[in-house]
Amino acid sequence: METADVVVNGVGVVGPAIARQRARAVLVWSVLERTALIGSITSSRNSEVIHTGIYFPKGSLKAQTCVRGKALLYDFCATYGVAHRNCGKLIVAADPTQVDDLQAIRAKAAANGVHDLRDVDLAELAELEPAVRGVMALLSPSTGIIDSHGYMLALQGDAEAHGAMIAFDTPVTRLGFADGCPTVTTGGAEPFTLQCRTLVNASGLDAPALARATEGLPDTARPATWFAKGNYYVLAGRSPFSRLIYPVPEPGGLGVHVTVDIGGDARFGPDVEWLEATSPDAIDYTVDPRRADAFYAAVRRYWPGLPDGALLPGYSGARPKLSPPGAAAADFRIDGEAEHGLPGLINLFGIESPGLTASLALAEIVAEKAGTT
């Protein structure tokens, strides 16, 4: 059997972030990816926002890794020349009933150590974003946007420069144990089994299914999963906004907000569409044009000037959820030996938003759990 020190399964954004961190600490190791491209699943189907950690419960992994990850990400972008923009974001109360929600968000942010939010009154809102209608807003000055693909390529380059080997078109079919060490078995054109000291399952939507297929893992370490699709519509024409504009959050997501990409194009979304699919392979990423009416209604709450016919179906992504529709949002989950009792295996579950922002902080935690920082 082939051996490696560390094997990471999944080349989204989280796998390469872990790879890069670990490549500095170990000599031989590899990253496996079942598609032919880096970040072709959830990591290329998101809003590309650098979040600040405003919304998450105090002490949660989401809050901690978002706050830490944001700082690491801005540093990384500056060091490696990844395109990004610290454009800021406004969370807008559409009517007086939502003003208390803004204050609750501000208090939650402060509890997470995010102290740079400030109130924006009606007059300032009109000055900052003349197209936006609302009664009050919160400004988050440190929110930004990033070229997520450029970021992943920089992570890949750095990992490879430090000795990592990335194998594409290499689907992992089974995780197991031999002689007290994790093993990973692949399919693909040239199937093989690798034994390693540390095995990191960073396979996003597929991570729970792989955990279910891991021999010896206790049932409590095999979480159930649900998928919530987020659809985007793109704006035909020029964006009237300079900042990201968010409504007050809705259950399951942040509400249909507007973000701009690095190229300056505006997109609206994501909404929240719970799927019946029980396997990631069954997810249909097509954006249903019939959802347009709901988008027009949601966007016009804060941008009444949205012209008819200006929204075009864009793209979609899927959130790996660890709690079902209607239940409280679950936290990120990083299960190591302390959680499941099996040495060397680390499973990452439920890495939905803010996973892009949090990626470098998640990598730090994985390195710590693996015993090499």
Residues lying near ligand FAD in the complex (CB under 6 A) are found at 9-15, 32-35, 39-43, 45-49, 51, 171-172, 202-206, 210, 230, 270, 317-319, 351-357
Q: CA-to-CA distance for 121 and 138, rounded, in angstroms? A: 9
In angstroms, what is the minimal distance from the CB of 5 to ligand FAD? 19
- Cβ-based nearer residue to ligand FAD, 10 or 134: 10
> Which tokens sit at 112?
């997470």
In angstroms, what is the minimal distance from the CB of 20 to ligand FAD? 13
Among residues 10, 6, 7, 13, the alpha carbon closest in space to that of 352 is found at: 13
- Cβ-based nearer residue to ligand FAD, 47 or 214: 47
Measured in whole angstroms, the distance separating CA 97 from the mean position of its chain's CA atoms is: 30
- Cβ-based nearer residue to ligand FAD, 21 or 43: 43
In angstroms, what is the minimal distance from the CB of 37 to ligand FAD? 8
Contacts of 371 (CB under 8 A, 6+ apart): none
- Cβ-based nearer residue to ligand FAD, 11 or 365: 11
In angstroms, what is the minimal distance from the CB of 218 to ligand FAD? 21
- Is residue 214 within 8 Å of 176, Cβ to Cβ? yes
- Cβ-based nearer residue to ligand FAD, 303 or 359: 359
- Cβ-based nearer residue to ligand FAD, 2 or 119: 2
In angstroms, what is the minimal distance from the CB of 317 to ligand FAD? 3
In angstroms, what is the minimal distance from the CB of 347 to ligand FAD? 11
